[in-house]
Amino acid sequence: MTRPCCPRVVLITVFALFALILAAQPSTAVAAPVAAGAQDFIQSIANETVSLLQDESLQTEQRTERLGRLFNRHFAVEEIAQFVLGRHWRTASESERETYVELFRDFIVFGYAQRFGDFAGERLRVRGASAVDDNTAIVNSEIVRPGQQSNVRVDWRVMETNGSFQIHDVVVEGVSMAQTQRSDFAATIRQRGSVAGLNQALQQKVAQLRQQLGLTG
Dist CA 109 CA 20 (whole Å): 11
| CA proximity to 13, closest of 216, 217, 212 | 212
Mean pLDDT (the chain, rounded): 83
- What pTM was computed for the model? 0.79
Rounded to an integer, the average pLDDT of 37-61 is 81
Q: How confident is the model at residue 61, as a pLDDT?
A: 85
Q: How confident is the model at residue 201, as a pLDDT?
A: 97
pLDDT digits (tens, 9 = 90+) for 3-20: 554 444 444 444 444 444
For residues 210 and 19, which has the higher predicted lDDT (pLDDT)? 210
- Residue 133 has φ and ψ, to the nearest 5°, of -155, -165
pLDDT category at 117 given cuts 50, 70, 90 is very low
Rounded to an integer, the average pLDDT of 121-149 is 86
Helix count and strand count (H, E) for the chain: 8, 6
Domain residue spans of the chain: 3-213
For residues 119 and 88, which has the higher predicted lDDT (pLDDT)? 88
pLDDT at 217 over 80: no
SS3 content of the chain, % helix, strand, coil (to 5): 60, 20, 25
Dist CA 134 CA 152 (whole Å): 28
Percent of the chain scoring above 90 in pLDDT: 50
| CATH architecture classification, 3-213 | Roll (3.10)
Q: How confident is the model at residue 47, as a pLDDT?
A: 72
Rounded to an integer, the average pLDDT of 101-126 is 77
pLDDT digits (tens, 9 = 90+) for 17-33: 444 434 444 444 455 78
pLDDT digits (tens, 9 = 90+) for 138-169: 999 888 877 777 888 989 999 998 889 999 99
Q: How confident is the model at residue 143, as a pLDDT?
A: 81
Sequence-separated (6 or more) residues with CB below 8 Å from residue 51: none
